[in-house]
Structure 1
């Protein structure tokens, strides 16, 4: 079988959620199925390290598809030509977009419908493109894969899609995220936080991730506890961050807030494993990988009580109302003061994280590919 994969999110030095998902899932699938031919489709020069197996052939399709007009050209004009040329029998699109101009069966991966729930956090042109086309993409695809039961039900309710067409392939924590020894943690703290304990947020920084309320909550925590605790933001400044940077510039506890910028995964894993707790106050997540990675490191996670996060975390997370900085601050203080609670969350986390692994998710995705390829 000839299988084409949309791998545009495999970006060296810029790898984030979609990119890691592609890497974990499709490296396994290609290695586990050497009898099949895989084409990885990029929109710019690629890094050879993303060609994980001998049965993967990279193809660059122009133009770089990063805005609506380019998306339309890439998916509906250039992509169909390439699929015909390579005689693709199925196309897997990993970013929620698919081609409306090809007869090749398509498996569409949709992580969430954030553009419907929080349209204020994206540009008008992007929002309009999603509103105009997402329903068409979902109907055009033979099979839909998503990352949680929450996202599955959201797709069913918002777009009236048959639930039988949608398959849940959970995310999982990366293997680099592991517990560190006491001495290793101390070295990391010396490097990043002057030897002090710290709360950590990981991921790109933009309004949907709620960095403003996290800063406000940390301010309340510092005023009440007067500890040396730091707050680390480990991720790049993405979009619509003017309000965040403006608040941070005049923030009373600015010297206790650390911005690392983008970090490669091996360094990020050490930083997470050395934290006192991870804080993830996102307004919406289709899954939410960073808190699960913290659990695998033996670090408790404070997360929002919305969308897919209770489904993923169960009794292993400490939940917050992301709209309420006072509630976030209360939970920061609670985990800071209550060692029994912190220890219980860590133990619960060790059990919870066992429910998610990339090998199982790759098997389920392979099932989705086979279904799409055989669909009439």
Structure 2
């Protein structure tokens, strides 16, 4: 069997959630897929060093595409038109116009449909006026006028493609499966729940790395609360800033809040809220953080906070548990499913409840120790190897 895999997301230099998912699934599939099957990785550019080592039955096909945007729909489609494969596996993106009959697509969540106001709706690709018009024309032409080049339209188009063409949809939680079934007319048997794994980052900390060196590099001091993810509306960062303000003024928390991630939709408003509460010196935003530093950052945090308004799974929650850091997170379905009784939950719409919950984990040693112990048990249910093995069993039987 010839298996094609869209590796474009796994090959990103600064990976975040779905990109890390793609990377780790591919790394594990390299160990699992038998040698009698040929695997082709499709990517926009040369594979990054940590992804480039391939088994003998694997190869990479670099599909150059100078415009950068719409690579899947145009460049990958063009290649698949002339080079047939038996199966296409897409860990984190969308289905190309031209594709084989057998397709397995991972849908991480459908937040763009349920919480559309939390998502940017600008035109994809270049933002120059002429470029935007050209992109919009190409998208409307390719979709027979049904969709524009706006991000919301692109998400909706991608899911309509999935509903119509995917042989199997993989999703990481029972909550996400239910959401997909509620929104789209699909057969439940065509959607398979395969939970994500998580990165065991402890071994990635360099032997010479210390908490002191990390603090100096990022100008952090202990104690600090840690959030990992894109700094945006969807992750509920404005409400987290309000809760942190309460922690400082009502509960007299002496430490910092570290937001480790790249700016996302709503970042400017978040900065304004930080200024409003006079927290510029206490809220630290180091940007995207590499794996080694992130591992040390998690390890030295006082509490890990994940205040998202919508998630499909919640990988960072497990990463914090693995490092024996107590977790406070939103009482939303996906996080309740992933963390279960190993986290302390709060109402994501209440800064007061959020602050109260975090304060418990800061000050109540018994609760911290109980959650850390429960977290060590909870993480045993998840691994990238198991995720990849279940994925392979699905792929080979399509």
Q: TM-score by structure 2 length?
A: 0.86
**Quick check: 1:209 aligned with 2:206?**
no
Cα shift at 1:100: 3.7
Q: 1:58: which partner in 2?
A: 60
**Quick check: 1:81 aligned with 2:78?**
yes
Distance in structure 2 (CA, Å) of the matches to 1:371 and 1:356:
23
- Kept in 2, the 8 Å contact 1:288–1:308? The answer is yes
Distance in structure 2 (CA, Å) of the matches to 1:113 and 1:227:
36
**Quick check: 1:256 aligned with 2:282?**
yes
**Quick check: 1:111 aligned with 2:91?**
no
Change (3 A) 1:9 1:194: closer
- C-alpha distance after superposition, 1:179-226 (max 9, x if no partner): 999x95565456545542110001121110111110110000000222
Aligned to 1:57, the other structure's residue is in SS state: strand
Cα shift at 1:318: 0.6
- Kept in 2, the 8 Å contact 1:24–1:358? The answer is yes
Change (3 A) 1:215 1:42: same
Aligned to 1:255, the other structure's residue is in SS state: coil
**Quick check: 1:31 aligned with 2:31?**
yes
Q: 1:326: which partner in 2?
A: 352
Cα shift at 1:152: 0.9
Q: 1:169: which partner in 2?
A: 194
Change (3 A) 1:362 1:194: closer
Alignment equivalent of 2:306, drawn from 257, 260, 280: 280
Aligned to 1:308, the other structure's residue is in SS state: helix
Residue correspondence of structure 1 range 183-194 to structure 2 within 5 A: 184-185=210-211, 188-189=214-215, 192=218
Moved more, 21-30 or 39-48: 39-48
Cα shift at 1:57: 1.7
Cα shift at 1:336: 1.6
Alignment equivalent of 2:337, drawn from 299, 302, 311: 311
Task: Show structure 2 runs of 5+ residues with no match.
Answer: 122-149
- Kept in 2, the 8 Å contact 1:177–1:293? The answer is no
**Quick check: 1:137 aligned with 2:162?**
yes
Alignment equivalent of 1:98, drawn from 90, 95, 99: 95
Q: 1:293: which partner in 2?
A: 319
Q: 2:176: which partner in 1?
A: 151
Aligned to 1:209, the other structure's residue is in SS state: coil
Distance in structure 1 (CA, Å) of the matches to 2:170 and 2:352:
37
Distance in structure 2 (CA, Å) of the matches to 1:132 and 1:236:
26
- C-alpha distance after superposition, 1:88-113 (max 9, x if no partner): 11001122411243334111110000
Q: TM-score by structure 1 length?
A: 0.90
Distance in structure 1 (CA, Å) of the matches to 2:28 and 2:177:
24
Q: 2:365: which partner in 1?
A: 339
Kindly report the root-mean-square deviation, in angstroms, between the aligned alpha carbons of the 2 structures.
2.3
- C-alpha distance after superposition, 1:134-165 (max 9, x if no partner): 12322211111111111111111111211111
Give the total of aligned pairs.
366
Cα shift at 1:17: 1.2
Cα shift at 1:300: 0.7
Task: Show structure 1 runs of 5+ residues with no match.
Answer: none
Cα shift at 1:126: 1.0
